[in-house]
Structure 1
Amino acid sequence: MSADEPLFRVTRGVPTAEELAALVGVIVARTRPTAAPAPAAPGAWARSGRSRGTALAAGPGAWRASGLPR
């Protein structure tokens, strides 16, 4: 690509200056590298399902005890 060759060309219609500015803005925004977002901390819903350090014991009545508050 030579220095005199345009990066893009409008092949149909007659865009206004505002339309061309919007097009250039979109192209510039899409070509910029973006920083990777930081991993989000788990929410309260995800944390509620995790074990709190007490293991459930197998045996008689274990299924009933699994639903009780710890």
Structure 2
Amino acid sequence: MNIKVVRGNPTPEELAAALAVVRARAAAAAATPPGAEGPRDAWSDPARIAAARVPNPGPASWTRTYWPG
């Protein structure tokens, strides 16, 4: 694995910290069995979108819209 510093002048301690994070993430990804997903957060869960109510416009709903221009 090669890491290239593109900008700035990090100290050896900063490089060591960044490398430790990258290696820990790589080890965690390698330890996960193939096909297994990690925990999903609520933001990326498709069920969140499906659970939202579809708006049901009423007879006067056009009065509450905004058309710029």
Q: If the length of structure 2 is used for normalisation, what is the TM-score?
A: 0.39
Q: Looking at secondary structure, tell me which structure has more helix per residue.
A: 2
- Asked which structure has the greater CA Rg, the reply is 1
